[in-house]
């Protein structure tokens, strides 16, 4: 058998791809869709659509997501002591699109409950995880936020799925 080292593998040299190719390839990884909310130091509600959410650890209960450094609410999430992750159900593509926009009042007309440290809890979701911010890690043009789960509300609804830049349901 031939002894292959990474340097022999001429078909996939490192970084021989454009960011468009990278984005399209990563889009083949189907994910759920979440809205992550919190409050600024002045008590204003903030939130954004996030599909980088994932599980990390059961004991202790840790989850992660990553935030782009160019997001309007970046500084507020860096300072936030807690946040809520809402896993969206299959009817909520409109909410996903709303929370992916910038410069609008994303919470207009929405009756939110008040969670840990007054973070806004959306009225509709499949699962809501309230978390405290545990670690922040550099992640290139993003920062990886690790949270410790403090409470769970699981309504067991069918998920909204994001795949190749579009929504799917099952």
Contact positions toward ligand FMN, by CB under 6 A? 33, 48-52, 65-68, 71-73, 96, 100-102, 162
Burial class (CB in 10 A: 0-12, 13-18, 19+), 133: middle
Least Å distance between CB 3 and ligand FMN? 40
Q: In this complex, which beta carbon is closest to ligand FMN, that of residue 3 or of residue 42?
A: 42
**Residue, CB closest to ligand FMN:** 52
Q: In this complex, which beta carbon is closest to ligand FMN, that of residue 62 or of residue 71?
A: 71
Q: Is residue 61 within 8 Å of 148, Cβ to Cβ?
A: yes
Q: In this complex, which beta carbon is closest to ligand FMN, that of residue 9 or of residue 102?
A: 102
Least Å distance between CB 8 and ligand FMN? 35
Least Å distance between CB 123 and ligand FMN? 19
Least Å distance between CB 100 and ligand FMN? 4
**Cα–Cα distance measured from residue 122 to residue 124, given in angstroms and rounded to the nearest whole number:** 6
Residue 119: Cβ within 10 Å count = 23
Q: In this complex, which beta carbon is closest to ligand FMN, that of residue 100 or of residue 112?
A: 100
Q: In this complex, which beta carbon is closest to ligand FMN, that of residue 66 or of residue 130?
A: 66
Least Å distance between CB 65 and ligand FMN? 6
Helix H, strand E, coil C: the string for 58-112 is CCCCEEEEEEECCCCCHHHHHHCCEEEEEECECCCHHHHHHHCCCCCCCCCCCCC
Give 109's contacts (C-beta < 8 A, 6+ positions apart): none
């Amino acid at each position: 058998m031939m002894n292959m080292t990474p340097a022999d593998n001429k078909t996939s040299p490192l970084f021989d791809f454009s960011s468009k190719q990278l984005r399209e390839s990563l889009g083949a990884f189907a994910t759920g869709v979440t809205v992550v909310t919190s409050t600024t130091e002045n008590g204003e509600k903030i939130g954004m659509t996030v599909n980088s959410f994932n599980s990390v650890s059961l004991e202790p209960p840790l989850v992660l997501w990553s935030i782009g450094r160019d997001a309007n609410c970046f500084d507020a999430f860096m300072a936030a002591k807690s946040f809520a992750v809402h896993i969206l159900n299959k009817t909520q593509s409109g909410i996903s699109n709303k929370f992916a926009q910038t410069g609008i009042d994303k919470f207009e007309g929405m009756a939110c409950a008040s969670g840990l440290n007054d973070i806004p809890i959306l009225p509709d979701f499949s699962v809501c995880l309230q978390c405290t911010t545990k670690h922040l890690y550099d992640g290139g043009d993003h920062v990886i936020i690790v949270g410790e789960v403090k409470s769970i509300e699981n309504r067991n609804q069918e998920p909204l799925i994001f795949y190749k830049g579009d929504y799917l349901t099952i």
